[in-house]
Homo-oligomer: A and B are copies of this chain.
Amino acid sequence: MKKALEGTIVLDLGQIYNGPYCSLMLAFQGAKVIKIEPINGENLRVRRKGDCHELLMLNSNKLGVSLDLKSEEGKEIFLELVKRADVVVENFSLGAMERLGLGYDVLSTINPRIIYASGKGYGLEGPYANRPAMDLTIQAMGGVMATTGFADKPPVKAGPALCDFLGGIHLFGGIATALYQREKTGKGQLVEVSMHDTIYPTLASALGAYYSQGGKVSQRTGNQHSGMATAPYNVYPTEDGYIAILCVADRQWKSLLKVMEKEELLNDERFQTNIDRSANTYIVDEIVTNWTSNRKKLDIADMLIKANVPHAPVQSIAEVAEDPHLTYRGMIREIEHPKEGKIKVPGSPIRLSDSPLTEVFAAPMIGEHTDEVLQDLLGLTEGKLEELRDKNIIRSKEKMTQEK
C-alpha cells in the first residue's frame, strides 16, 4: 500500500515547533521530508545541552541535511533541490527568505510546480507583520491569555504551545489542499498561515458571549464555561486531585443528579434546561462540589463512566506521558535513537485507513543525510562533497563522527 504523500519531496526549513510540526505530518503521510539546517543546527538544537527532546519529538521520519544558505554555493545547491521538490516549508521571521534571495518569487520562477508554505507569527502582511512573534506573544495578542485563568487573578498563558501547533497544522492542511489543486491545474502556489489568525476562531465561546451580550461577561472564567453558557461545567476538587465534569444535555444533568443521589432536584425549576442551569451556575457548582470533595477522583470517574456523564480526571504530565490510551493508539511511541537510546515520540493524530503510519524512526542528527541526499537528488560526487565540506558549506555525518 502506497502512502498518501509518497513520491512527494519536501524541503523543510522549519525551526522550533511551527514548521517542524507541519513537516512531521507530511513525513508521517509518506512524503520524503528533507530537514535543511544551518551548519550548527536549527535554534531548537541548543535549548538544552545535546539534542533536546522537543527536537526529537517533532523531527521523526525526516532526512537531515546541513547546508549554509548564506553562502552562494549553498544557495545554488538549495535552488537545485527546489527544482526537484514539490513543497518548501519555512517559518523564519518575515523577510528572511527574501533577504537570502530565496523568496517565493524566485523559487516559483525556477519551479512553477513548487508549493511554498510560509508559517509566520502575524502572516506576510498587515500592520503587525513586522513584529517578532512567538507562541507566548501570540497568546498575549490573540486573546488566549485574556481568557485563561481566574477572573480575580492575572491573565495566564495556556500550557501547551497552542499557537505554534495550530499554525503548523493549518499550514499542513493548506499544503495538502494545494497538492490536490495542483493535480487539477499543474501549478504550485503560495500557502500562508499566520499563527495569530488561527487563534481567533478558537475563541468562539468568549467571542460569542462578547458579540451577543456586548462584553458584559467576564473574559476569564477559570474553569467555568468561557461564555458562562453551560452548567455544570467546571473542575471540581476531590480528596486526591481534581476532576472535570460537565453536562451539555439535560439528560446528562438528570443522570448526574441520580449518581449524586439528589433525585429531589430532578424537577427543580432552577435546573431544568441548560439556560436555567447557566443562570444558576454557582448553585449548580456548589451541589457538585459537595459531592466530589469527599470522594477520590478515580472513584468518581468510575461512577460517571457508568452514568454516561462527561468528565475526566485532571492528569499530570507524568500520567499523560504514560497514558495507556495514547500508548494503545500509537500516539506515544518508544523508538531507538542512536545516541539517546530509547526515546518516546509522538505518532500521527491524523489517521488515514489507506495511509497508515507503520514506522517511526528517530530525528536526524545535524547533517546525518547530507551526503545521501545530495548524491541521490543532485548527483554530487564524493570529491565535490568533500570540497563543500572543506569550505563549511555543508556538514556531513562523516565530519560529525571525526569531531567526536
Contact = CB atoms under 8 A, between A and B. Distances in A.
B156 A352 contact: no
A316 interface: yes
A145 B140 CA distance: 18
Interface stretch (A45-53, A260-268, A379-387): A45-53
Given A147-B160, A159-B220, A208 B154 contact: no
Contacts of A38: none
Interface residues of A, number: 153
Interface stretch (A71-79, A318-326, A369-377, A392-400): A318-326
Contacts of A242: 140, 145, 154-155
A183 B196 CA distance: 33
A354 interface: yes
A282 interface: no
A317 B143 contact: yes
Interface stretch (A61-69, A168-176, A359-367): A168-176
A216 to B, nearest CB: 11
Contacts of A92: none
B274 A200 contact: no
Nearest to A55: B208
A141 interface: yes
A103 interface: no
Contacts of A323: 141
Contacts of A205: 54, 161
Interface in A150-204: 150, 153-162, 164-166, 169-174, 176-181, 183-185, 187, 189-194, 196-204
A136 interface: yes
A89 B398 CA distance: 49
B144 A158 contact: yes
Contact of A317 (B25, B183, B207, B308): B207
Contact of A4 (B43, B162, B178): B178
A177 B350 contact: yes
A174 B346 contact: no
Contact of A208 (B57, B156, B197): B57
Contact of A315 (B140, B156, B305): B140
26 contacts: A25-B173, A47-B227, A48-B229, A54-B205, A58-B201, A123-B329, A126-B328, A134-B248, A143-B160, A146-B316, A147-B160, A150-B153, A155-B242, A159-B221, A160-B226, A161-B204, A162-B166, A165-B201, A165-B202, A166-B169, A176-B176, A178-B355, A181-B354, A200-B332, A211-B343, A211-B344
Given A2-B185, A181-B355, A211-B344, 6 more contacts: A58-B201, A137-B244, A140-B313, A145-B235, A154-B237, A189-B354
